[in-house]
Every structure is written in C-alpha cells, then in structure tokens.
Amino acid sequence: MTDTAPVPPAPAGIPPPLTHPDGRVELAEGTRLPDSPFANDDLQPVPVAARHWTTYNFTALWVGMAHNIPSWTLASGLVALGMDWKQAVLTIALGNVIVLLPMLLTGHAGPKYGIPFPVLARASFGLRGANLPALIRAAVACAWFGIQTWIGGQGIYLLMGKLFGGGWENAARIGGQPWTLWLCFAVFWVLELAIIYRGMETLRRFENWAGPIVLLGAGALLWWIADEAGGFGPLLDQPSALGWGADFWKVFFPALMGMIGFWATLSLNIPDFTRFGKGQRAQVWGQSLGLPTTMTLFALLSVLVTSGSQAVYGEPIWDPVALSAKADNGFGLVFALLMVLIATVSANIAANVVSPAYDLANLAPKLISFRTGALITGVVGVVIMPWKLTETPELYIFTWLGVVGGLLGTVAGILIADYWILRRTVLDLADLYRPGGRYWYTAGWNWRAVAAFAVGGLLAVGGSYSAPGKGPFPADGLVPLLQPLADYGWAVGLGASLLLYTVLMRGTRISSR
C-alpha cells in the first residue's frame, strides 16, 4: 500500500538498495549502514552472496529441531491425557500444518531482505517498539532453553546412574536435587553455549548430520519397545480413554492450540534463519518438507512407544529418558545417552538460543552482540527454574504452551498484516535501521501495533483457566467472560490482532519506499 506521504531523504552517502531479478534486495555493494543505536554487525542485512542455505539445509534444520525430547513428550503426553495413538497423531499433524502457514509468511522477509526477526518487527512496531515483541519472544526462548537443558541434563543423569549404580543417584543433595544432577545440567549447559558461540555456520553444519541420527535413535527405541511388547499389535491396540465424543473434543481443542503453540515461537523468528536462504523456493520447500512431515513422523514414533510402554509396564511412560533407563543392555544405554545429547543440543540451540541472541542484540546493539545475547540467554534459562514447567502434561501442554501460543499468535497476526496486507512485502531496507525514517512513527513506537497486541493478547489468554489442582489459573478463568476463548488462544490472538491492526493502520498513510 503506497501513497504520496512525504518520505525523509536517505542519509547522505547511502545509494539505493539493489533489487535482483529474483526479488531479493540488498544494500549496494560496499555499502554499510551508518553508525546508529539500531545497528550492529549481527543485525545488518545479510548480503545476497552470503545467502546460501539450500532446501536441504532448511529441511535438516527442521529435522534436527523437531526430533527432540520435548517434541516426544508433547506427543506422548497426549497419550497420557487419554488419547489413543490415532487421536494424538491427528492432533499433532493438524497443528503443524496450521502453524506452517504463518511460518512461511513471516519467513518470506528473510531471503528477500536478509533481515532477522527483530528488524522485521520494526516495520510494524517501530524501531524502538520492536523491542516489545522481541523481548517477549526472547523471554519465551530463554524459558524453552532452560527446559530443554534441564531435560538433557536429567537424561544424562538418569542414564549415567544406570551405568555407575546407586551411588550416582544417591549423591548428597543441593537445593533438593543430587549434586550429580546439577553437574550433568551444568555440563550440558556449557556444551550448548560452546557450539552456538562459534556462530551460525557451525550450527548449520551440526544440523546437517544431527537430525538424521536422532531419527535413527527414535526408530531404535520403537524397535526395542515393540520387541518387549511382543510385536506392534499391542502398541496399536491401546484404546482411547476419551473416545470420540464430548470428552475427546474438550481435550482436543486446547491440545491443538498447544501443538501450534509449540512452534509459535519459530513462526515469529524464522527470518533469523531464512535470512541466509538462497531464495524463497529454498525456504518454502525446506520448511514444508521439514516441519509437518518430521513432526508427524516423530509423533507417531512417540505415541507408539508410549502405547508400548503401557502394554509392557502397565502405565504410559511419556518421558523417553525414563523409558530408556529401563533398558538392561549397556550398549543400549550408551546409545540412548548419545541420542539424548544430540537431539536436545540440536533442537535447543537452533530453536531457543538463536532468537534471543538476536532479540537481545536488538535491545542494545552497541552493547550486546549475538554471542553476548547467547550467553545472557543461557543465564536466564537457569534462573527461571525450568524443572517446574514440565512436572505434569497438564502444566506443560495446557498452561505453558497454551499461554505462550496465545501471546505469540498475537504478534504473528500483526507481522503478517503489516508485511503482507498493508505493505505487500515491500520494505525500505535502510529505513529499518534509521531513526526518523518511515518506521520511526512516534518516538520510535507505533501505538497501533501496541494497541492491537494488547487487545489480541487479552482475548487470547485473558480467559486462561486450570482444572482444580492442575495449574496456576482459576477454574473459571482469569477473566471469566473470556474463558470460552482460552481453548483457542493462538487462533484468537492471531485473528484479533491481524484484523485490529489492519483497521487501525488503514487510516494512516503508509509509504513502503
């Protein structure tokens, strides 16, 4: 959407950006943005020559991110809540097909302009206002980093306990946990940060081989539990405790929002990765092949193994680490330990360190680099005490993922409305970094985006509720009037903010270039 609104002149010495035949835009060769509080080397647009991630790179990225312990517990947690394997796989497959669409829409700006998520958010929220969605996304990622690191450390602890005997698990306690568990947590924390500290290219190479290895490990766990159960028949015969009636649908819709909320984080900051893409085809095909297919396959493996554990042990064991620890074979334990390490490192670094590293750099570009942001993420991920968030499937799926999904869906609605509906994918690259330019609004804030976020967020999570004794919210919702919307938080947040932002901005003059 364009008009004749006056446009501030470009800074002296900066030539117009180059637009390539395939639509990709970059700064003119040899051009660097002027020194300002809103730019540093990590936030600068990636030159076209450095955008070389292929379809395989994006597919491998998603394989590596999808094959992780929280993804496993997400699917197996649905079985623990009463679904059979068909219902659980249906819920997860549908959720990932739905979340793929905003993923592709927000990812478009990455290959086209070479910009990360917090810079894209400047077009709608303003240069300063972009810190609002960026810090929300960073806070969520820090919590996820802590969760994944705790699970990874816990996995090492349990499996090492099987190898070294009771002395490992019965060690002296510090803060209510054995000191050996804290040691595993710390070692795993250092390992992750050491990898990401080497940069995005190291991450790309790691993901290329980590994803397929983890898939093989999940297959091996399925083969083992099927052998213990006496074949695949018992895995497929476990009945649903919910049926297909009203009891199922009461669980299905909040669970579906939880499935969407699981990757709602990446639906915002996917430009952090697609900015390195060779073009739109690479990111579209890579994500389409990588996300819904691998998540559905991994979900199928997870629910089959969990159903098998119910057949073998009389109860569903939704934690694959706890299930692996039941194996008596030493080689199997070492193999399981390696899978836990690779799966968790692969997913956690890509999904939960890259984004806050950029988001925190956006907060103070002159003080915080990508590497500094990664270190801050690691510290915050410990402070939030992640072991509390995964205690039960109800708290994990409904409370944590549901609320997170609602808030992040609200941000996604604003980004999509601004980039696709109002600006038709046309941005002024230099002005995304320049105070006083098109995206400065009022002192760096676009109050319309803030208003749309506040209203959408209230509608999405204001009615959050918990079953008695199952969570932190009142049984009739934080705002009882909004309780009926709580089970659809992500969709409500995205739809409400998209519509409201579009209406508010329609009354303003928008210059794209």
In angstroms, the Cα distances linking 177 to 152, 212, 310, 354, 387 are 15, 34, 28, 30, 11
* Cα 15 from Cα 358, distance rounded (Å): 26
| pLDDT at site 444 | 94
* 47, two tokens: 């030159």
* Cα 128 from Cα 106, distance rounded (Å): 20
| pLDDT at site 337 | 66
Classify 276 as helix, strand or coil: coil
β-pairing, 173-174 vs 25-26, is unpaired
DSSP labels, 354-372: HHHHHHHHHH-TTT--HHH
pLDDT in tens, 336-390: 667 767 777 777 777 777 777 778 877 777 778 777 888 888 888 877 776 666 5
Please tell me what DSSP assigns to residue 445: B
| pLDDT at site 108 | 95
* Cα 489 from Cα 482, distance rounded (Å): 10
* Cα 224 from Cα 465, distance rounded (Å): 39
CA angle (108 as vertex; 414, 440 as ends), nearest 5: 50
Q: Where are the beta strands (DSSP E) in 108-180?
A: 173-174, 177-178
Low-confidence ranges of the chain (pLDDT < 70): 1-14, 30-32, 34-35, 70, 166, 199-212, 215, 231-240, 316, 318-321, 324-325, 327-337, 340, 386-402, 469-471, 507, 509-513
* 337, two tokens: 């330990």
| pLDDT at site 302 | 76
pLDDT in tens, 59-87: 888 877 777 776 777 777 777 778 877 88
| pLDDT at site 369 | 78
Residue 139 near residue 302 (C-beta atoms within 8 A):
no
| pLDDT at site 124 | 96
| pLDDT at site 6 | 40
| pLDDT at site 420 | 96
Q: Which amino acid is at 137?
A: R
